[in-house]
Amino acid sequence: GADDVEAVLIDPAAHGGHRETDLAMLALFGAPHLDEILRGYHQRHPLREGWRQRVPLHQLHPLATHSAGHGAGYAVALADAARKVLLL
């Protein structure tokens, strides 16, 4: 009956991409409990050395997209990420 309705959540940005990209997106948009998520990754399947330095690389595309659509706040973050990527 009507009382048996369930809610279903769908991730509109789900993808089968690289896990470093997934973690970089979580960091970019402020995932709650990110430290716990990172500990879980480390326990189950540690990330490759240098993954933290590559975070800006994985954030370039979403920052560029948000900069184009949402303005200067993201443009500053995009420029900062680009400078960090050039140092890799």
The structure's pTM equals: 0.77
The structural domains of the chain, with segments of one domain joined by +, span 18-86
Over residues 13-36, the pLDDT tens digits come to 677 789 999 999 999 999 999 999
Tokens of 70: 């949402």
Number of Cβ atoms within 10 Å of the Cβ of 85: 16
Closest CA to 51 of 62, 38, 60: 38
Residues 6+ positions from 58 with CB-CB distance below 8 Å: 18, 20, 21, 23, 24, 25
Over residues 65-80, the pLDDT tens digits come to 999 999 888 999 999 9
Hey, what amino acid is at 55?
V
